[in-house]
Amino acid sequence: MKTLRCLRPAQWRNSFHPRLYAALAALVYIGLVNLLFDYAVVFEFNPDEGNNLIKTLLLDRGFKLGSEVWTDQAPGFTYLLWGVFKLFGWSVDAARQAVLFFAGISIFVVYDVLRSSFESRSGHSAAIAGCIILFVSTLFVRLSVSVMIGLPAIAVMLLAVWCLNEYLEKPRAHWLVLSATLMGFSVGIKMFTGFLVPVYAVFLAVHLVRNETSFSWRHQARHFSLFLSGFIISFLICLSPLIMNGALSELLEPHLAMRMAKGGDADGVWAILGFIRQDRILFILALLGTLQALRIQKRSIYLWILWIFSAAVALFDHSPVWAHHRLLLTAPGAILAGYLLGEIIKRFNQC
């Protein structure tokens, strides 16, 4: 107790683990949404809410996904929601709080990535700015309390890429396995994050080859195998209910039919332009942040540049594009925008 009393404010900050700031930011976001957004009065934000709740209820009553309950999505979220209901009771509020928890994970990742990209004061300022940008982006708060699978899948992928960045900073195998496992879980929630897996697999392979002087080829092969096997095992576990029921075709056929019915390839172009128009400040800052990171070769930001540009390419030829697809762009965009603001704050502090 005497030691604690002697600590000054600066010493308190030094004794506070840096990642706890990111956890605190996530808790603040969850608290603000519960305090300021009276979502309990909303019966249904989107018909997908009812679909997800009904599938979970039927699963609990013994019906099999795929063979007895039609689903065009990977079953990861349905089983996750079933577990939430078993723990906290069968209520829409419990389901919405679960999705809000995943939104908190997104805030955690944005904050910690930006905090660790700068020195202490500039890092926290950049992190707060990035979180605010994501907070005010179109539909983020609404999707944070909607029982839909898009935001949870993206939140888990954000956490997976955060783990991958931790591995690149300190190449310990457990970070790599955790990253790959989370990627498999993300795709097992909603397969629209699947395009990121080969992107990051190639990035990892290039990173390992470039560091051949630090590691033997056996070490490189072992780590890359850990990444692939971690993803495959996690993904197959998520898909196992559909595999056992012979219903994997349901994941593709409805979406291909919808693409043809909606009219084609131009949907993605117009959707991306619409997303940019609605969050123009975010995307302008993100573009400038990208250019700055490339100019000074800020390697820790490369993972998020890869994400946003890969997402733009994937959506470019996608049809139909729904409102929640914007998170594929705004989540990494908030990190890139926050990075630019962090650079501005750092230079201002140096003056």
Q: What is the DSSP letter of 178?
A: H
Domain that holds residue 84: 18-350
The reply to whether 2 falls in a domain is no
Q: Which among 87, 89, 90, 107 is positioned nearest to 31, based on CA atoms?
A: 107
The reply to whether 111 falls in a domain is yes
CA atoms within 13 A on the CB side of 315: 25
Q: Which among 258, 203, 245 is positioned nearest to 227, based on CA atoms?
A: 203
Which pLDDT belongs to residue 6? 47
Question: What distance in Å separates the CA atoms of residue 178 and residue 212, rounded to the nearest whole number?
Answer: 23
Q: What is the pLDDT of residues 67-89, one digit of tens each?
A: 888 888 899 999 999 999 999 99
Instruction: Read off the pLDDT of each residue in 221-238 and give the average, rounded to a whole number.
Output: 94
| Type of residue numbered 36 | L
The encoded tokens of residue 53 equal 């709740």
SS3 37: coil
The encoded tokens of residue 265 equal 């390839």
The encoded tokens of residue 157 equal 């992928």
Q: What is the pLDDT of residues 102-161, one digit of tens each?
A: 999 999 999 999 999 987 778 899 999 999 999 999 999 999 999 999 999 999 999 999
The reply to whether 5 falls in a domain is no
Q: Does 320 sit behind a cis peptide bond, omega within 30 degrees of 0 on the bond before it?
A: yes
- Residue whose pair of structure tokens reads 């605190």 in the numeric block: 24
**pLDDT range class, residue 219, cuts 50, 70, 90:** confident
Which pLDDT belongs to residue 268? 78
Indicate if the pLDDT at residue 12 is higher than 70. no
**pLDDT range class, residue 7, cuts 50, 70, 90:** very low
- In percent, the amount of the chain with pLDDT more than 70 equals 90
Helix spans in 116-216 (H): 120-136, 140-144, 150-169, 173-189, 196-210
Which pLDDT belongs to residue 11? 45
Stated as kind and residue range, the H or E segment containing 299 is: helix 299-316
Domain count, the chain: 1
The reply to whether 144 falls in a domain is yes
Instruction: Read off the pLDDT of each residue in 155-180 and give the average, rounded to a whole number.
Output: 94
Indicate if the pLDDT at residue 14 is higher than 80. no
The reply to whether 335 falls in a domain is yes
The reply to whether 7 falls in a domain is no
**pLDDT range class, residue 270, cuts 50, 70, 90:** confident
The reply to whether 89 falls in a domain is yes
Q: What is the pLDDT of residues 244-257, one digit of tens each?
A: 887 777 777 666 66
Please, which residues have CB within 8 angstroms of residue 154's CB and are 6 or more apart in sequence? 106, 186, 193, 327, 328, 331
The reply to whether 13 falls in a domain is no
